[in-house]
Chains A and B, each alone.
Chain A
């Protein structure tokens, strides 16, 4: 049997951080008492009508532009009809075949579309004593009902669970930096469902896909997809066929349960929403949305890579705007030192020093100013201090702030620049470690460490390790 490849698409719901709901003026709720943020409109009383939240439209445009989407010059709302207690109108106002955002791209994944819709209410299931099924109750809290959502659908361009989780993280970071949503998976302001299928590697056709829901962290997203891929692979390899169904991921057990009930699939009977008029984004709205965009992760990563940074370092910086801002200040102060080297110091030694000192926040919140770090790195580049000494100086900068030169002076960490002095120490160390010297001459190069160590102790780490090695080799 031909090798099977995974084909994954994601469906993401982003809860917008507007002040009010999508179609009425009720405030959005944050863990409040049930049903304290409702009105006749979001309770769907007879005779009420929806009115679109202007800010939600702006936010949707920003999301669309950030994802490189074509913005529809004219889009409309549709009714998606279905009965459920969390849907008070028994229809959700959404967008169907004419969404506000069309095809786009983020990283390696193409975006199919993005559209505006309203969130459902919250249902709490309460069991009825003695019974396992059936006559339990649902208690419905309409606080959440009507919260604005942007739904983003990708093309099935992902080929693995880890890749999917990684891309989802990139999407999350991108949307977070727009400031339009908290995008918190645990809290529900970001929800990611996956459409998963398998097919013979190299095939162009799509296999039957299943829909995975209820994965409320990136870790669970990855595990859920992995579990489903494993299941589908086994099924197909043993001659079975994948059935289209919706699967609910249980984080506790890591297993997937089918939600396929005895009822037929929903017939949503979509038709254009007669109570709302079309959205026609104006030049001004688009301009304002464009201007509101910060430099987003994907663009920043590309820029850093162009500056010579390694991909993973670029990614680390790009997903942390404050640290990347700090990094750019260091680059400016360093004037001439390769950004790659500076980036490694920021994400490597400085980050480690901050962790070691248990400092809250990141580089931008620390006492190490960008010019100070730049100077420190230059001193290492110019061999004025050893890398090891620099780490000591850095730790001091973290706790005291200020500049590196006085600290170097104070601690006597200046690298030995007097080669005569160094030569004398090396000769002495070689004399005191004659057996080590013998071993080196016999071909055991590791023994050099003992002599280097002695020299370092004598010079209190100020000697340049490379230079010591060279001198030893010379005197053998």
Chain B
């Protein structure tokens, strides 16, 4: 038998169901591995104490899982990577976690993240950055950096994260693993601390596409606590496609732009691989997608500025300046509790919604969004999938982009349009490339996007491509 930790979640599940593997043994092995976290990926781990009681599973029969610290877990610290929620223990558990527990997946721990999911490098956490297991001088991506790092770094078999503008896909790409953002509404947002309500979605970060399918199957579904949830009709089955014949993959003409040559090479190679597997490559046009970043960085901060207004020191979380008057308490609490990126986005969002600016910013951005969605609908009349590199570069160095917020935002160039359109997209590791400045090779992600609720088709194609690529590099294989 393979080393326990090498089993995919699916393999482990099948072994458990088949009686060949004791779930408790499997979980114990992972708990031990998780305890060796040197990447600052976990903010809390279940060490078998009192705290984890409220979220203990009755029946342990699915691989234990790491959960981004943005999901509320009753009685267990939930910080969203922020100071303002330091020590906060929610009085309820999020639906996504509840479903995991009901399925029999113990929670290994809560993972580190960019504060309130705002970031593309996990350098915005109040609890320190997460290190990329491939090269500890580099970022794992964000905002689900912790979730990606634990999966890539052998600290968890799989994890859940959230994706608002690329926050699952981009860290998955930087860490050489699979990351899926489902259709908006596929998974309940109840208990998922809100950043941008019309964009946030829960999704799997896994080592294989099959694991992602297994996890998606557990998580998806309509939730009466979330008015915007619908689930995926017909559920999700494990993928089994062998090749890509009969499928058309569209490459958007507009999403060329300026990006790393190493990434471009892997992307082109993957396109050839698709053709080798019988797929057809075509060019599509998404004229409004180049404005995706602009629209996103109006809509997301605007919604965030409203979602984060509840952190006011009155009912939970941090309170500072309580000896002053009300406004002083609000201002001191929020100014001390939020980090610089969060403040920046709150300011941006408040401005975009403020009197006199709403139409020009928020109103206009929501129109761009409609156009972007229409562009995809148009493209999908011609092709089955739209493909792009997941990120414009491989993982960059810690501190490399923190001085220029805009350059950090441009990381999301390829991922944001899908978020705005609400359609599902997956990133799978497609190869390795040298960073622009030279150095050991790092993973490159390949993004496939599909029409709304076409997750099954998407997973089937991604699976076939994944098998065809045969990516098997691991951190520490003589790199980094």
Q: Once the chains bind, are B354 and A40 in contact (CB under 8 Å)? A: no
Residues of the A chain whose Cβ atoms lie less than 8 Å from the Cβ of B325: 134-135
Q: State which of B33-41, B307-315, B379-387, B450-458 sits at the interface with chain A.
A: B307-315
Decide if B358 touches A44 in the complex (CB within 8 Å): no
Alpha-carbon distance between A88 and B315 when the two chains are bound, in angstroms: 8
Q: Which of A226-250 contact B (CB under 8 A)?
A: none
- A93 CB to nearest B CB, Å: 11
Q: Report if A51 contacts B (CB, 8 A).
A: yes
Which of B60-68, B85-93, B440-448 interfaces with chain A? B85-93
State which of A83, A90, A138, A267 has its C-beta within 8 Å of the C-beta of B354.
A267
In the complex, whether B194 has a CB less than 8 A from a CB of chain A is yes
A74 CB–B CB distance under 8 Å: no
B323 at the interface (CB under 8 A from A): yes
| Cβ–Cβ contact B330 & A83, under 8 A | yes
CA distance A90 to B316 in the complex (A): 14
Least CB distance, B76 to chain A, in whole angstroms: 13
**A-facing mask of B185-204, CB < 8 A → 1, else 0?**
00001111110011000000
Whether A274 sits at the interface, judged by CB under 8 Å, is: yes
Bin the interface of chain B by size.
Answer: 35 or more
Determine if B407 is an interface residue (Cβ-Cβ < 8 Å).
no
Instruction: State in angstroms the CA–CA spacing of A48 and B350 once bound together.
Output: 21
Asked whether A43 lies within 8 Å of B358 as measured between CB atoms, the reply is: no
In the assembled complex, how far is the CB of residue B85 from the closest CB belonging to chain A, in whole angstroms?
A: 7
Q: Is A254 an interface residue (CB 8 A)?
A: no
Pick out which of these stretches binds chain A: B131-139, B220-228, B246-254, B265-273.
B220-228
- Roughly how many angstroms separate A138 CA and B325 CA in the complex, as a whole number? 11
Which listed residue, A43, A49, A140, A271, touches B189 by the CB 8 Å rule? A49
A85 contacts B316, C-beta separation under 8 Å: no
Cα A52 to Cα B225 in complex, Å, equals 10
Confirm or deny: A46 has a beta carbon within 8 angstroms of a beta carbon on chain B: yes
Instruction: Give the distance in Å from the alpha carbon of A85 to the alpha carbon of B326 in the complex.
Output: 9
Instruction: List residues of A (168-192) whose CB comes within 8 Å of B's CBs.
Output: none
Complex interface residues of chain B between 226 and 254 (CB less than 8 A to chain A): 226-228
Instruction: Indicate the member of A46, A49, A91, A135 with the most B CB atoms within 10 Å.
Output: A46
Minimum distance in angstroms from A382 CB to a CB of chain B = 68
A46-B90, A271-B358 are contacts. A51–B224 as well, Cβ < 8 Å?
A: yes
Given A40-B90, A40-B92, A89-B309; A48-B315 close (CB under 8 Å): no
Given the complex, which residues of B lie within 8 Å of A216, measured CB to CB?
none
Given A81-B353, A267-B355, A269-B353, A47:B309 Cβ within 8 A: no
Q: Contact check, B309 vs A90: say whether CB atoms are below 8 A apart.
A: yes
Chain B contacts for A135, CB-based, 8 A: 323-325
Is there a chain A Cβ closer than 8 Å to B94's Cβ?
Answer: yes
Asked if B315 and A44 make an inter-chain contact with CB atoms under 8 angstroms apart, the answer reads: yes
Whether A45 lies near B197 (C-beta < 8 A) is: no
Closest to A23 in B: B227
Q: A85-B326, A267-B355, A274-B303 are in contact. Are A47 and B228 (CB under 8 A)?
A: no
- Assess whether B227 is in contact with A49, with CB atoms less than 8 Å apart: yes
Closest chain B CB from A116 CB (angstroms): 14
Residue pair B227, A51 in contact (C-beta under 8 Å) = yes
Establish whether residues A46 and B306, one from each chain, have CB atoms under 8 Å apart when the complex forms: no
Q: Which residues of A contact B91 (CB under 8 A)?
A: 40, 45
Q: How far does the Cβ of B196 sit from chain A's closest Cβ, in whole Å?
A: 8
A462 at the interface (CB under 8 A from B): no
- In this complex, what residue of B is CB-closest to A277? B227
Q: How far is the CA of A48 from the CA of B193 in the complex (A)?
A: 8
- Closest CB in chain A relative to B173 CB, distance in Å: 27
Contacts from B to A (Cβ < 8 Å):
71-72, 78, 80, 85, 88, 90-92, 94, 189-194, 197-198, 224-228, 302-303, 306, 309-310, 312, 314-316, 323-326, 330, 350, 353-355, 358, 362
| 5 A-B pairs with least C-beta separation | A90-B309, A269-B353, A274-B197, A274-B198, A46-B193
